[in-house]
Structure 1
Amino acid sequence: MKHKRLFTFGLILFISGVVLLFQPKVAWLRGVSFPCLLVAVLMLTSALDRAQPLGWRVIEILSGIGLLVGLACLLISDLRRYSMQILATSALAFGISTIYLRATAILGGLISAVGLFLLLPLPLLIFQESPLDRGNPLRPFALPLILTGVLLFSLSSSRKVLVERLALGGIFSGLFFLCQPFWEGFYQVGFQILLSGLVGFITISHR
């Protein structure tokens, strides 16, 4: 009875989050949808019985599709505003439900590495003549990828100590970038790195 009630509340919260995410008029409601979707995923997965693998496989398949949809939204400028919520929610659900832990950990690490590469100013050395004087046009792609990769990696990796160290490294690096007074480029990426480190540390601490 308790699990049924938890599943019902989680489903209602998930539907509410989807409605808030895709409503076209009020931008801040899309921000409200983010915690709604994440909490809904946690409630839905907590309500499932590990002895019944069918439900877990359904979540794994749907969240895998969600990851592909989120990546597609990230690449389409008109849909990019939905990508963060879709990717993070799908990554959380996939990381909790998947049985392919090693492959998921590798995929998460690769996605995080791509996001960090796009976040830091290094790509501008390739795409722009004067990278230090201009903004990073690739940065909008970075944070959704980093958070997605961090969630996948921290939920599926068997090396918990390594995940904790990487997360703490992200936290300290983010704080350093935020506090250093020398270059605005690193200051701008400090928050994203700090947030990603916190997400990884919280996830691995409660796994």
Structure 2
Amino acid sequence: MKFSRLSFSGLVLFVVGWVFLFQPLFQSPIILLRGFAFPCLIVSVLMLISCIDSPLVFRFIFGMSIVGITAGLVCLFLPTQRTYSIHLLAVSALTLGISTPFRRITTALGAILSATGLVFLLPLPLLIYQSEPLARSNQLRPFALPLILTGFFLFSLSSSRKILVERLALGGIASGLIFLCQPFWEGFYQAGFQILLSGLVGFITISHR
């Protein structure tokens, strides 16, 4: 009975999350509902996966996760569809990290995506040659958070080095707090929030593995 209730609740949350994300019933999108879509999708995926014990279903989830990450990356590079990219990437990365049979490849992919996101967030050449590299004019910044979150999910779920993941996550939390609290450069505030959020995601994920 517990299984059926959990799977039903997860399915309802999953549908609600997608409705909040795409909002097919509204002529103009409501930003607040898109904010609710993210936790609904994450929680629903965790609830549904916890009810699955079939290897065949896990293979199907693995395949769909790859498709989801590919679609999320495509949306990320399309300005009109970029709103949906972080939802697609995060949910797909979560399911891929849980279902993947290729742990080392997934760990390496997560590390590459996280590093790429950090480079986009804090581009060192821009830090040197521009006065406001972290301002809204930085065209790389919109790509940073989706890539960092996706990489952290993949890395923290598939890596066998749990202590290393915990240290990296705590380092991200500490760095984000330092960036948020420093009084010298306003441009670091938004970067600090994204680094702090990514560190928290990584720490929570590795703590509940």
TM range (shorter): over 0.9
Q: Do the aligned residues in 2 keep the contact of 1:118 with 1:138 (CA within 8 Å)?
A: yes
Pick aligned residue for 1:42 from 46, 50, 54: 46
- Once the two structures are superposed, residues 5-28 of structure 1 have per-residue CA deviations (whole angstroms, 9 ceiling, x without a partner) of 322221121111111100152121
* Runs of 4 or more above 3 Å deviation: none
1:83 paired residue among 55, 73, 85: 85
TM-aligned CA deviation for residue 63 of structure 1: 1.2
In 2, the alpha carbon distance for the partners of 1:188 and 1:26 equals 23
Report if aligned partners of 1:121, 1:185 keep a CA contact under 8 Å in 2.
no
What SS class does the counterpart of residue 87 from structure 1 fall into? helix
1:45-60 equivalences in 2 (<5 Å): 45-49=49-53, 52-60=54-62
Question: Taking structure 1 as the reference length, what is the TM-score of the superposition?
Answer: 0.93
CA RMSD of aligned residues (A): 1.4
Pairwise CA distance, 1:121: 3.7
Q: Distance in 2 between matches of 1:63 and 1:177?
A: 33
The AA in structure 1 aligned to 2:131 is: L
Q: Does the CA-based 8 Å contact 2:176-2:191 persist in structure 1? A: yes
Query: 2:11 aligns to what SS in structure 1?
Result: helix
Amino acid paired to 1:56: F
Amino acid of the residue matched to residue 142 of structure 1? A
What is the alpha-carbon distance in structure 1 between the residues aligned to residue 132 and residue 39 of structure 2? 36
The letter for the 2-side match of 1:131 is Q
Given that 2:10 and 2:47 are in contact with CA atoms closer than 8 Å, whether structure 1 keeps it comes out as yes
Cα offsets for 1:38-58 (capped at 9, x unmatched)? 001000100111xx2011111
Q: Which residue of structure 2 aligns with residue 132 of structure 1?
A: 131
How far the C-alpha of 1:157 sits from its partner, in A, is 0.1
State how 1:91-130 maps to structure 2 within 5 Å: 91-124=93-126
Identity percentage of aligned residues: 64
What TM-score does the superposition give when structure 2 sets the normalisation length? 0.92
State the partner residue of 1:206: 208
Distance 1:77 1:5 in 2: 39
8 Å Cα contact 1:108/1:148 also seen in 2: yes
Deviations 1:100-158 (A, max 9, x none): 111100000000000000001425369xxx52235222111100000000000000000
- Aligned length, in residue pairs: 202
Residue ranges of structure 1 left out of the alignment (5+ in a row): none
CA distance in 2, matches of 1:187, 1:26: 26
- Mapped partners of 1:123, 1:108: distance in 2: 24
> Amino acid of the residue matched to residue 34 of structure 1?
F
Q: Which moved more, 1:3-12 or 1:106-115?
A: 3-12
C-alpha contact 2:132 2:187 (8 A) present in aligned 1? no
